[in-house]
Amino acid sequence: MFNKIFESGKIGNLEIKNRMIVPPMLTEYANEDGSINERFIRYYEEKAKGDFGLIIIEDTAVERRGAGFMCLPGLWSDELSKKHIELTNRVKAHGAKIAVQLYHAGREGSSSVNGGVQIVAPSAIQDPTNLELPHELTTEEVRELVEKFAQAARRAKEAGYDAVELHGAHGYLVNQFVSPYSNKRTDEFGGTFMNRLKFPLDIIKRIKELNGHDFPIIYRITADEMVEGGLNINDTKMIVPILEKEGIAAVHVSASVYKSGYWASAPTTAPTTPFVKYAAEIKTVVDSIPVIAVNKINTPFIAENILKEGKADFVSMGRASIADPYLPKKTKEGKINDIVFCVGCWQGCQGMIAKQKPVTCLVNPSVGKEEEYTVKEAEIKKKVMVVGGGVAGMQAAIIASKRGHDVSLYEKTEKLGGQWLLAAVPPGKEPLNTFTVWQKHQLNVNKVKVYTGIEVTEELIRKVNPNHIILATGANPIMPKIPGINLPHVVQANDILSGKELMKNNAVIIGGGLVGAEVAEQYGEHVMGVTVVEMTSEIAGGMEMAPKKFLMKHLNESRVKLMVNTKVIEIKSNSVVIECEGKIEEIGAEQVVIAIGSKSENILEPLIKDKYKYNVIGDATKVGRALEAIEMGYVAGISI
């Protein structure tokens, strides 16, 4: 079934044991001075243990001025390279090959994280997503940067890296030189097509002079910048053969820049493998170098098909490797049901990076905490009772059982999954179901006794007589005190998502937070005349950037009317009275949907707090995101 992904392959003279690559992805695990640490090393070592063939270390700055994030690794000095020797040795010990991506943010950097100096660029033009005006590099300064890239490559080779990747994508400095969108120079590094290519070509040439012509250089490229006046796939098809002639060993095909950057890590609702088409196009113009495909390749089935269809020679499985660093190993051993698949939620990876915080993962709470979150056998085996079968409760039950405890899980409804099941209902959110499928499989594998359709009472707790209780009872929808709230055409958002209530035309959704906005998206797919009324100034406030952009796009296409800074005064039998900017008006409504949030349900805690040892986790303690709830479950499981 999986023949292609386990074939060995070559990048230059580098033999790689399979076709699955971990691409460079920023983690914010490095130290602020650019050095790396045990957390950083352990994160990458885990992927090597999991049998990925090639691991490419994240954006590594060639000078401090080129850092675009606070905790970014650097190779701008010999001193910084010393710790990388330990990293390369530990990764190679598990049979993986290791490369490092050489990077400079250019105009996408920030003086707030690079030591307080002005950012630089080919031309003194602001990036549309950055308020800082860059310094236009002089010709001599460009030549100095060529040398800095080459010296960083030298340090990489001396530290034991098998290859380097030149970051020529996503609107960073190398990409800025190549693109007419950002390069308006008139010297030898700008103007004509070949002049704009001179910067990366000079870097490649100098790296080879310092490290030998056999040292592999991978080139990360943006096939289509997706901005007016930028590079497109036809330009890139002319660029890649020139890079190949200069001696690159592989081309790693991505797309987009910051202006369009939500595509670079496609969220749940985006099409699967949106950039593979570009890799396939590049395959038609290369002579002999391998082409690497990337973006939302999150299962071995998808990866295998890409290779079988000849669209690429290697596949990068970035967020898939965060969700489960052991994906290749489990696939090879036929344990597909044990793989934790990335659901594209953005909460733990890109969402955290946007906040300048370390990466974590909704479906894998142990990422970046591999040591402290190691599941070890408990010294004393206990009887553990988990109350609530949502994602937090199931996670707690799984981990506690793995530690050897006798675990029983009780869920008052007939189905496991809780609110997560409803989160998977809106258009394009179906992949979320893969996580609850995995959790239910793990409950079975780890012999957790599961009881559904049973509401836990104090009497039942006495009968079970557990040593430890985990309360994961979730939350209930809030019913606001609005006149008319009890009219028959008023329904809860959860009842719409669960199918208990049918959608009707001319619906007014009260509440434009995450749930309300996604319910509106569901309505927009099926009925006409939908209005969302939100008290604050923002629809889907707090939602991660990329998922939100797709959501807002869908709402716009479905002609859902969005009203912000608007208060509901009264619900009538066929209308809703609202106040907006001091004006009172009525809008017609055949159906009114309440989606203003939830409140914790935790009626059992007062009954057990003086009698049993217990934890309260997830929404039962504080209504929040699944990211935090699942980690609470994990921590509860390892702490018993």
Consecutive sets of 10 residues in the chain, 640 residues long: mean pLDDT of each? 97 98 99 98 99 99 97 98 99 99 98 96 95 97 99 99 98 98 98 98 99 98 96 98 99 93 82 96 98 98 98 99 99 98 96 95 98 96 98 99 99 97 93 98 99 98 98 96 97 96 96 96 93 97 90 94 97 97 95 96 95 97 96 98
Distance CA 530, CA 234 (A): 41
| C-alpha span between 217 and 224 (Å, rounded) | 21
Question: CA nearest 219: which of 144, 164, 148, 146?
Answer: 164
Query: CA-CA distances (angstroms) from residue 224 to 38, 185, 211, 229, 246?
Result: 37, 21, 31, 11, 22
Q: Compute the distance between CA of residue 37 and CA of residue 308 in angstroms, rounded to an integer.
A: 39
- What is the model's pLDDT at position 262? 63
Q: How far apart are CA 293 and CA 465, in angstroms?
A: 54
Whole-model pTM: value is: 0.96
Are the CB atoms for 417 and 452 separated by under 8 Å? no
Fill in the DSSP letter of residue 366: T
pLDDT value for 261 = 63
Taking phi first (over 0 means left), then psi (-120 to 50 degrees means alpha), and beta for anything else, what does residue 615 get?
A: beta
> Is position 373 annotated as part of the catalytic site?
no
Strands 475-477 and 598-600: antiparallel
CA-to-CA separations, 334 to 186, 317, 324, 337, 523, in angstroms, rounded: 57, 18, 15, 8, 40
Cβ-based neighbours of 429, under 8 Å, separated by 6 or more = 268, 269, 423, 518
Count of Cβ atoms closer than 10 Å to residue 498 Cβ: 14
The residue to which tokens 């009780």 are assigned: 410
Sheet containing 449-452, strands listed edge to edge, beginning at the edge strand earlier in sequence: 449-452, 406-411, 383-387, 468-471, 613-616
pLDDT at 259: 87
> In sequence order, what are the residues at sequence separation of 6 or more whose Cβ sits closer than 8 angstroms to the Cβ of residue 84?
36, 75, 100, 155, 156, 159, 160, 161
- Write down the residue that tokens 């609850």 correspond to: 436
Q: Which two tokens stand for residue 75?
A: 């190779």
Instruction: Note the pLDDT of residue 556.
Output: 95
Active-site residue identified among 29, 44, 172, 410:
172
First to last CA, the chain: 40
Q: What's the rounded Cα separation, in Å, for the pair 391 and 619?
A: 10
Output b/e per residue, 582-598; b: 16+ Cβ within 10 A.
eeeeebebebbbbbbbb
- Residue 293 β-bridge partners: 253, 315
Domains in the chain: ranges and CATH: 4-333 (3.20.20.70), 383-477+599-639 (3.40.50.720), 490-596 (3.50.50.60)
Query: Are the beta carbons of 544 and 350 closer than 8 angstroms?
Result: yes
